[in-house]
Structure 1
């Protein structure tokens, strides 16, 4: 029974998140009186409805921008040579590990009235006064897309790497043009990655809090800001629960519309349904729906004539692709490089360009126990969260992938629930759950609170990888007397390893950069590095933040080098596995 594999994941979610979430919902409807006064109060105020609409609009636009940028980026990365592909993936992952607080502040430095862009324009005499580049909707999109773009690219890469490129070559050998081959062969096979990446980005954008608050204006507030104000003002659990469940309802509607079946079965079923629906229509009506089919005969004749002709020059496409990748990597890495430069500032505050060069802020980090102790605590918590969520999440993704399609969608929606709720509400729910367990203010409590969100990332990434896994390999191994555990370890696990590694990295990153949940469940007993950075940004602009961010950029490089060496050494074993299945 594959569903048994999901028991550990659902046990963690139920204790830390599920039961407290039910209690929060009962509070939102004023149980045991059971009234909708909190919901009526929310929708009765036009300002709240406007904030809700604005939250959905910002999330949709940010997701669309991430998809428009992320899909061609992932396609170009997968199509690159092996060494270039590894290097580009490293460049995509590095920005996400650097603290989101430091990256958000870097955009303040870039877009501010006396930031990098305005200073450059003023020095060149192009403008006479600073341009309003910050505290507006455009700045919010720039910051949100910068943070979420890696989370769109990684699922796409995971799925695209599992697509057999010989299918593209087969299409070209039959006379199909490159664009037709891509659109009719490659793109449909990449839809699991598009769906999982888009859903992942959208549901996280719904709960964005720090970046819109730092880069947006008063008219760009999101629902998380509304909830945060309620927490700070009155801590009215009923109103907070009502706002949270309204936003959760929006996420459920979107997930229901686009589907959460990441195994690829849903896409094939929908395609079969469309084909069957088209077969019942008159042929003339079908041609009206698809005018391109009227030219099928003419295109077939042209393809036959051009089939054995030499291909056209592709230098222009290579140049355009290279320029596009360079621009995307510049967009992802420039704020990081800016933070590195600012970390050597000799001034009392962060500035760009630095008025002088100095290592004073690195000495401040290593000489201040509050900084390096907080960093060590964050590393410990992140590693434990990554291990726990990867093991439990991989088992859950495998079990969900092997269950019935109807049950699969429901289970996946439950797993994704913690990342569909605003992060501040997740912190409140985790607070209620850990209070019952007596784990408030403990490292174990923080680990459990971080794991409920990290599980969703792991399940999404691993499930997207399983979407392109051929289950006949497992059947072949079992037919040769391989036991289920042996089949999983020697056949399934090596083939889905890229997704597992990606899920583990995202789990570590989500834990390492967590601020809101940690502040609620950790209290004053445990101070993590992001929590200290956030406190310093709010109360004082300590340039040590830039030094800390620069040091954090070394961590993903070292960890990915270790993972690459381990992966490279296991490649011959994987090749032998394909040639000689276990018996």
Structure 2
């Protein structure tokens, strides 16, 4: 008789300590940098909100009792909510059409969505300023439709229109990601059971698309809360939003306590919205679509027309900015009355503009360098952590992305004043590095997850030293992700304006700040040429990174 065997339940798999230890060492530089550059300034804002000008809850009490402040808070929440809802309604059919289109048309639609990412934020707002000014194209169209001389510039409506267009890609992409995973046969199955098509779509498809819809709308709402540039350029002091009030209280009144209370209110609202969105979205599992067919599904004519209109709305600012840069007149008029290169000549000969371009390139280069080093090391460190720690640490590394931008600017400005970094390029570089690190972490982590981890083991079994295995095997495979992260870090710094506005000084003015001042302070048409330059500086690196990644991917398939 065979001896009985005793079976024991296998303990949960743990990452060996010798593997997690290097992970923490690789994470340490990024964690320390974010604590110093991001967490400490935010904590300082919290302390100021309870202690300046006197200790207590006075700043928070006035936040909810002062009539003007309550009006601004209410307006900000209403505008952000409206932008999220209207943007969601515009984005949903477009994202749905992307799932039905064939490979070529889908590539075109995705490219159109990405165009706003390749266009400078200030350039887009400048374009809307030109279009919505008195006598502009939008007013002419409304007059033609019988609405009379409608004044848009300086109104909340103008701010909402521009914000919706700017945030539309942030709504489309999450929706498309969720819809792409839905098995299209489920709607057909509902119809085969007797449900009309619209009911099957409403009862089957919409619930499955809900996570993407809520993710996109909550992201748009959170981003809209902290918008400063758009309300400052297209709105007015009569319909100010909370970011404008924070700016005035901080830079003109030096009321760090009151501004800090407003910033913390935005932060709490952000956390609540993101938490509710995650809870309402739920998890959709087991309904993943099969491999996508190369054959396009039927796209109805009305949907084709709709996607064309929305696509035009997405690229409209770019179509305005570039022709405006060749205008021969000193007015912001579109279409231009004449053609000339005078504004490019002014851009590259004016000491102020040349200095701002060089400052932006310098800040962008060092930001990309620091963020790439910190973010790449952090991504490798995350890959070595146990699952118990990986989630929280990754959430901390990505936290600068969810904090309202105006709150980050307030926190950085407060600390920079005390450390003597205000008005210096070093201060801007350090602040931009904290914002850019998450983009590098995301890009490199995505590349690491797509890499076969057994390759380094194979190299080691063939006698390769760990350093050689990393240099000859791991690094070439991860390099596209590192380059993508570096490009994103550079572009993030190059296009950032709010923090640079807070930290500006005569010797530390970046190109976006010079562009902002040219509209709000001196009305300099050179901004049209600068906007076109920003489009090139932002889009060319991204396109180059995409082409390089595609070429490396093609080499890997051979």
Range of TM-score over shorter length = 0.7 to 0.9
* Partner residue, 1:307: none
Which of 72, 76, 101 lines up with 1:55 in the alignment? 76
Q: How does 1:372-391 map to 2 (within 5 A)?
A: 372-390=354-372
Between the aligned partners of 2:300 and 2:485, the Cα distance in structure 1 is: 31
Q: How does 1:338-487 map to 2 (within 5 A)?
A: 338-390=320-372, 392-393=374-375, 396=378, 410-411=392-393, 414-415=396-397, 417-434=399-416, 439-457=421-439, 474=453
Between the aligned partners of 2:555 and 2:510, the Cα distance in structure 1 is: 40
User: Residue by residue, what CA displacement relative to the aligned partner does 1:540-570 show, whole Å, maximum 9, x if unpaired?
Assistant: 2222111222233334553344223322322
1:78–1:360 CA distance, 2 compared to 1 (3 A): farther
Cα RMSD of the aligned pairs, angstroms, is 4.5
Matched-pair contact (CA < 8 Å) for 1:96–1:509: no
1:31 shift after superposition: 7.9
1:99 shift after superposition: 3.2
* Partner residue, 1:303: none
Between the aligned partners of 1:246 and 1:128, the Cα distance in structure 2 is: 39
Between 1:325-334 and 1:412-421, the stretch displaced more is 412-421
1:436 shift after superposition: 6.1
Q: How does 1:140-151 map to 2 (within 5 A)?
A: 140-151=159-170
Between the aligned partners of 2:231 and 2:496, the Cα distance in structure 1 is: 16
Which of 185, 207, 221 lines up with 2:240 in the alignment? 221
1:234 aligns with 2:253: yes
Between the aligned partners of 1:152 and 1:328, the Cα distance in structure 2 is: 13
SS of residue in 1 equivalent to 2:502: helix
1:22 shift after superposition: 1.6
* Partner residue, 1:519: 501
Which of 184, 203, 209 lines up with 2:222 in the alignment? 203
1:135 aligns with 2:154: yes
1:562–1:128 CA distance, 2 compared to 1 (3 A): closer
Between the aligned partners of 2:323 and 2:254, the Cα distance in structure 1 is: 41
1:208 shift after superposition: 0.6
1:229–1:101 CA distance, 2 compared to 1 (3 A): same
Between the aligned partners of 1:357 and 1:477, the Cα distance in structure 2 is: 58
* Partner residue, 2:17: none
Which of 20, 24, 28 lines up with 2:41 in the alignment? 20
Matched-pair contact (CA < 8 Å) for 1:17–1:433: no
* Partner residue, 1:510: 492
User: Residue by residue, what CA displacement relative to the aligned partner does 1:301-344 show, whole Å, maximum 9, x if unpaired?
Assistant: xxxxxxxxxxx9955x2544433332222112212212222222
1:246 aligns with 2:265: yes
* Partner residue, 1:111: 132
Matched-pair contact (CA < 8 Å) for 1:427–1:520: yes
Matched-pair contact (CA < 8 Å) for 2:494–2:538: no
Between the aligned partners of 1:95 and 1:392, the Cα distance in structure 2 is: 28
Between the aligned partners of 1:521 and 1:409, the Cα distance in structure 2 is: 33
- When normalised by structure 2's length, the TM-score is 0.77
Matched-pair contact (CA < 8 Å) for 1:94–1:553: no
Between the aligned partners of 2:38 and 2:478, the Cα distance in structure 1 is: 32
Between the aligned partners of 2:350 and 2:224, the Cα distance in structure 1 is: 35
User: Residue by residue, what CA displacement relative to the aligned partner does 1:266-286 show, whole Å, maximum 9, x if unpaired?
Assistant: 954x879xxxxxxxxxxxxxx
SS of residue in 1 equivalent to 2:328: coil
1:185–1:118 CA distance, 2 compared to 1 (3 A): closer
Matched-pair contact (CA < 8 Å) for 1:28–1:237: yes
| Number of residues of Structure 1 aligned to a counterpart in Structure 2 | 519
Which of 51, 55, 59 lines up with 1:38 in the alignment? 59
Between the aligned partners of 1:239 and 1:5, the Cα distance in structure 2 is: 39
* Partner residue, 2:520: 538
1:223 shift after superposition: 1.4
1:482–1:198 CA distance, 2 compared to 1 (3 A): farther
Between the aligned partners of 1:47 and 1:416, the Cα distance in structure 2 is: 34
Between the aligned partners of 2:218 and 2:398, the Cα distance in structure 1 is: 10
Matched-pair contact (CA < 8 Å) for 1:431–1:521: yes
* Partner residue, 2:4: none
Matched-pair contact (CA < 8 Å) for 2:371–2:433: yes
1:94 shift after superposition: 3.4
Between the aligned partners of 2:336 and 2:160, the Cα distance in structure 1 is: 27
Between the aligned partners of 2:96 and 2:313, the Cα distance in structure 1 is: 18
- When normalised by structure 1's length, the TM-score is 0.74
1:400–1:137 CA distance, 2 compared to 1 (3 A): farther
User: Residue by residue, what CA displacement relative to the aligned partner does 1:279-299 show, whole Å, maximum 9, x if unpaired?
Assistant: xxxxxxxxxxxxxxxxxxxxx
Matched-pair contact (CA < 8 Å) for 1:146–1:332: yes
Matched-pair contact (CA < 8 Å) for 1:477–1:487: no
1:322 aligns with 2:278: no
* Partner residue, 1:278: none
Between the aligned partners of 2:174 and 2:444, the Cα distance in structure 1 is: 9
Matched-pair contact (CA < 8 Å) for 1:349–1:543: yes
Consecutive unaligned residues of structure 1, counting only runs of 5 or more, are 273-311, 577-583
1:389–1:181 CA distance, 2 compared to 1 (3 A): farther
SS of residue in 1 equivalent to 2:506: coil
1:411–1:250 CA distance, 2 compared to 1 (3 A): farther
